[in-house]
A and B are shown apart, each in its own frame.
Chain A
Amino acid sequence: METLMSILIGLFFAIGTYLILTKTLLRIILGTSIISHGVHLLILTMGGVKAGGPPLLGFEEITFTDPIPQALILTAIVINFATTALFLVLSYRAYKVIGTDNTEKMRGNEDE
């Protein structure tokens, strides 16, 4: 299971990196989104993917799933949700004001 997950994570990172390296802002944002999914899966996998009981007191299971990675992922998802939303709004505004979503045309140092 861990091997399969690792391959999947690698795939997510590859796709995300490819998208970030393209020139359109929307694709870049989608790329960051996909990498973030890869990162979340990575945290899950690193905690150990075990088929076990819930980590609750009173349950007499010998193997239980580590709850910490899940708590970490939950926090990371919320933060990533916020930053993605902000990034989308920012990019839309940048597109409106600058008049292009092509990152190639967004470089330059002209003073306004």
Chain B
Amino acid sequence: MNNLLILPVVIPLVMGLLMVLFRKNITLQKIVSAASITATGAVAVLLMIQNDQDGIQTLQIGGWQAPFGITYAADMFSSLLLTTTSIVALSCLLFAFKTIGEERESYYFYPVFLFLITGVNGSFLTGDLFHLFVCFEVMLISSYVLLSLGGTRKQLRESVKYVLINLISSFLFLVGVAYIYAVVGTLNLADLSVKVAEAGQGGMLTAISLVFLIVFSLKAGLLLFFWLPGSYSAPPTAIAAVFAGLLTKVGMYAIFRLFTLVFYHEPQITHLLIGVLGAVTMVLGAIGAVAYGDIKKILTYNVIIGVGFIMAGLASMSIAGMTGSVFYLIHDMIIKALIFLIGGTIISLTGTSKLEDMSGLIRTHPYLGWMFFTAALALAGIPPLSGFLGKVFITQGTFEAEYYWLGGIGLLTSLLVLYSIMKIFMNAFWGETYLSEEMEKGSTKGIMVPIALLTGLAVLLGVGAEGISSYVNLAAEGLMNPELYIKAVFGE
């Protein structure tokens, strides 16, 4: 029992509710929202330290013991993602302070932002399948609001599609919950793991696991990503960056949790399928990223490539692959938020998202340019930046599992990622400078802080990888040994 676990959910929820009361007081909302996210970050770091010393932390809510009540469980994987979530959210929030505009602020932007974080944190912490559904819904409903807030034509058009897709995937989630309850008779993840292992994962359970795979693939953008490029390019930069950094990652987390804790008995069916889906996703994403000449489109397709690559680590089901996936997941959250923030800044400076209409920003904005260059190298996995280690381990994992094709596709798409992102750098920053500072549509005043913060973190994560590698190894070990999680939840 550890009451600390409830805080990452309760702090943003209660603070968000309180902030609804103070609609007019924007300054107060800014301070409170930044403070609450910092506080959840501090709790997450504390949890990480406790995980390191005493193993997995659990909380049986209301004192109801494990299979009957709702369990919260934080293993190292959850705590690492929680910490990263807080950092990414805080950076996007700082960016939003300067860019989101008064109209959105007075229509509950900050409370809804905190509700989104509530849902994300809850999804990372919960040990109950139905509670996972509830947390997903909290996150999704907030994301519907954030996506449509402002009400421009493009936003409304994309929100309608986004809401419909997510409603359908929520229904499928419930269908999966109903099926698994009928077959196994429990919804607690640890209990599910025990019972599935006892009964053996037969055809029925494998089929149910595939229903869940479809659901979470829709959320994560694994192959079923057709909704993603549209809806991620509609909202303002700060919101798009949060979506790119957090939302797909929650879907990926759910796939990891379910297919390492519960449905790990038939890897030649489920995990191979995940690998194939990942490979197809990488190829399609790379084609999209190379084909378009529009910053927003290139960046959203890079999100898709990242999803496929992380799933390759899961498909390998080896300790190296898992380590790589955890590492790359953390890196991906930071770097996707970062490139979305920089991309959005470029668009607000030039007033266009078309690459052919911009050039030479490096003279007027050298810091922005070099930070984008650093981010681009980190994204492509150039040592010593943050993407490198994850790539090495995932590739090693796929080779160990003898999925050479998967590792090969992963490496090949890295090159295309580098090409697509360098295309932005060359077009936007190099070349003739014809946009003087007076002619620019926006300014970078005050928004360099979050960008610099994330860039610094991307560099630090690569150079100082030694510092967190013990944490990442612990997370990967936890994923590979479901009995640790079960033991912690049942408190033996």
Contacts and interface: CB of A to CB of B under 8 A. Distances in A.
Contact of B160 (A43, A48, A82, A106): A106
Contact of A98 (B137, B144, B157, B168): B157
A86 B171 contact: no
B181 A87 contact: no
Interface residues of A, number: 34
A46 interface: yes
Interface string A71-112: 010011001001100110011011001100001001000011
- B contact residues, range: 20 to 34
Contacts of A93: 148, 151, 156
Contacts of B140: 83
Contacts of B171: 32, 35-36, 39
A15 interface: no
A43 B176 CA distance: 9
B154 interface: yes
Please indicate which of the listed interface residues B151, B159, B168, B171 has the most CB atoms of chain A within 10 Å of its own CB: B171
Identify the interface centre among A45, A75, A76, A97: most chain B CB within 10 Å of its CB: A76
Contacts of B42: none
Interface string A4-33: 000000000000000010000100100010
Contact of B174 (A32, A39, A90, A106): A39
A68 to B, nearest CB: 7
A46 B179 contact: yes
Contacts of B177: 43, 72
Given A25-B160, A98-B157, A43 B178 contact: yes
A39 B156 CA distance: 27
A47 B141 CA distance: 28
Contact of B168 (A32, A69, A90): A32
B7 interface: no
Nearest to B352: A111
A76 B174 contact: yes
Given A72-B177, A76-B174, A79-B137, A98 B153 contact: yes
B403 interface: no
Nearest to B179: A46
A94 B157 contact: yes
Contact of A97 (B151, B174, B182, B187): B151
Contacts of B49: none
Contacts of B353: 111
Given A39-B175, A46-B179, A46-B181, A90 B148 contact: yes
A26 B153 CA distance: 18
Nearest to B172: A39
B156 A32 contact: no
Interface string B170-201: 11001101110110000100000000000000
Given A20-B168, A75-B134, A90-B159, A43 B174 contact: yes
Nearest to A42: B178
Nearest to B162: A90
A46 B133 CA distance: 18
Contacts of A28: 164
Contacts of A43: 174, 177-178, 181
A83 B181 contact: no
Nearest to A89: B148
B136 to A, nearest CB: 10
Interface of B: 130, 133-134, 137, 140-141, 144-145, 148, 151-154, 156-157, 159-161, 163-164, 167-168, 170-171, 174-175, 177-179, 181-182, 187, 353
14 contacts: A32-B164, A72-B177, A79-B134, A83-B137, A83-B163, A83-B167, A86-B145, A87-B163, A90-B159, A90-B160, A90-B163, A98-B153, A98-B157, A106-B157
Give 4 closest A-B pairs by Cβ, nearest first.
Answer: A46-B182, A94-B156, A46-B178, A43-B178
